[in-house]
Amino acid sequence: MTILTVLLVLALVVRRQRWAALLTAVVMAGTSLATTGLKTWLGRDRPDWQDTLGLHENFSFPSGHASSSAAFAAILIMLLVLFVRRTSLRRLGIGLTVAWWLLVCFDRLLLGRHYPTDVIGGTLLALTVFFLALAFIDPRPRSTAANSEPLPEVYASERRLAVILNPIKVEDVGQFRTVVAEMARESGWSEPTWQYTTIEDPGTGMAERAAVSGADLVMVCGGDGTVREVCAELAGTGIPVGIIPAGTGNLLARNLEIPLYLRSAIDVALNGQDRAIDLVNVGGDHIEDTHFMVMAGMGFDAAIMEGVNEDIKKKIGWVAYVISGLKSLMFPAIRVEIQIDDEEPTVHRARTVLVGNVGFLQAGMPLLPDAAIDDGVLDVVILHPKKFLSWIPLAVRVLRKSQTVDELIDRRTGARVRIKASADTPRQLDGDSIGVGRELWMECVHGRLLVRVPR
């Protein structure tokens, strides 16, 4: 339990959840001290029916196993409720946590190590310590507005806030609206106006109306597709976009270091600082000219997006991409012609070609380690694992951020990129499949969009 506690505290500190880490340390240490103190004070002997293997000679009440496991389970359930947005995953996590605690309790009883009252007493003691600590330590991240001096305003505004929400991406729309309204009021913003995306309009029309109405900040809550549509419409307007990540990938938010915890993301949107980032114009055969913020691809990566089962995705989230990826690992190599800026086109064999505006892609893979979202250039990576086992050295080189360039991994950079495939090939933008085709062209527009990022 000590090792588990230390690992959990370190993980929370690394993820900048310092108050949750403090609560974890206080609860586990307090439970341990209280258990030891009560054992010594009451001095209850062990049951007579103990299993003789590993016989316990110390005192019995309360059960240290029950108290420590109950305290740790209470902490895990709290973290699941706070930070896991997907209902199915949260319920699964809570179910496994409660089952583990029950297993420990029954183990103590069936081995004869404790009386039932020892186990019940240990559990109640742990819960008492947990709720006492919770009364004094709030595990939620602190507001930027509460800890930082206000940023200087370049011009006076009415601080008008518009919120664009994909309603299927939040569990409780009413609760989300209440949280945003309360935090906006605390941060000095006006009562937000609300617009909801639809299947017919994933965000473009809403963003246009927000801009025309004179919004000083547009907050968008949804997946990468919704974020892309809103950002593309607000590019060049000078209106900052606050991103509330609520999708499966959330690639743009992750690369901008916007927290995935809803309250923290809302806080950044309301009180963060503005950053000018690049936007990428993109076009090709059989698609209308559009934009992307994160990446475009042809080949294996697009086949993954195309093969994702939406029903499975709704239930298990990003794991659906892993399942689709395993099915698509041996996507056939294609012949592609790539032109960077005004250079002569080059011909390659590849299983996938990715053009990125950021460095980290799905699952935090540093596939484009030198890419920056505000450097005015695009980073291109060409992957050609010839055999199934070739994926292993490829993955090792990617994780090590190796700069070696060869037939397995080739890299290019430029402000303009054109890709032509020899056959119809799956294509994707920001993780959304856009169908098969033979061509994509991209142009980076430097510093086109303002987004809110952490200070």
Q: What is the pLDDT of residue 308?
A: 67
Confidence band of 421 (pLDDT split at 50, 70, 90): very high
Reported as a single tens digit per residue, the pLDDT across 394-418 is 888 888 888 778 888 999 999 999 9
Summarize pLDDT for 69-117 with one digit per residue, the tens: 999 999 999 999 888 877 778 889 999 999 999 999 999 888 888 889 9
| Cβ 256 vs Cβ 241: under 8 Å | no
Helices then strands, each counted (H, E), the chain: 15, 14
Q: Where are the domains of the chain?
A: 2-136, 144-271, 283-445
The alpha carbon dihedral of 227, 229, 232, 237 has a sign of negative
Does an H or E element contain 326, and which?
helix 319-327
pLDDT at 235 over 80: yes
119 membership: H or E segment, kind and range: helix 116-136
Calculate mean pLDDT across residues 245-254: 83
Question: Nearest Cα to 180, choosing from 190, 168, 167?
Answer: 190
- The 10s digit of each residue's pLDDT in 347-404 is 999 989 999 888 777 656 778 888 889 899 999 999 988 887 887 888 888 888 887 7
Report pTM. Answer: 0.74
Q: How many CB atoms lie within 10 A of CB 5?
A: 19
What whole-number distance in Å separates Cα of residue 180 and Cα of residue 190? Answer: 11
133-149: pLDDT as tens digits: 999 998 987 765 555 55
- Give the mean pLDDT of the chain: 86
Contact of 251 with 358, CB cutoff 8 Å:
yes
43 φ, ψ (degrees, to nearest 5): 60, 40
Strand-pairing partners, residue 299, are 352
| 281-297 pLDDT, tens digit each | 999 998 888 888 888 98
352: left (phi > 0), else alpha (psi -120 to 50), else beta?
Answer: beta
Q: Which of 290, 408, 396 is nearest to 349 (CA)?
A: 408
DSSP 8-class letter at 364: G
85-94, 310-319, 436-445: least confidently modelled range: 310-319
The encoded tokens of residue 25 equal 């340390």
- In angstroms and rounded to an integer, the radius of gyration of the C-alpha atoms of the chain is 26
pLDDT for 437 equals 92
Cα atoms found within 13 Å of the Cα of residue 63, Cβ hemisphere only:
27
- What's the CATH architecture for 283-445? Sandwich (2.60)
Joined tokens for residue 222: 């949804």
Output the pLDDT for position 328: 66
Would you give the distance in Å from CA 318 to the centre of its chain? Answer: 10
Please report which confidence band the pLDDT of residue 45 belongs to, taking 50, 70 and 90 as the band edges: confident
Considering the segment(s) 144-271 as one domain, its CATH architecture is 3-Layer(aba) Sandwich (3.40)
Of residues 85 and 178, the one with the higher pLDDT is: 178
Q: Which of 17-31, 119-133, 249-263 has the lowest mean pLDDT?
A: 249-263
Higher pLDDT, 434 or 325: 434
Residue from 382, 378, 392, 300 nearest 349 by CA? 382
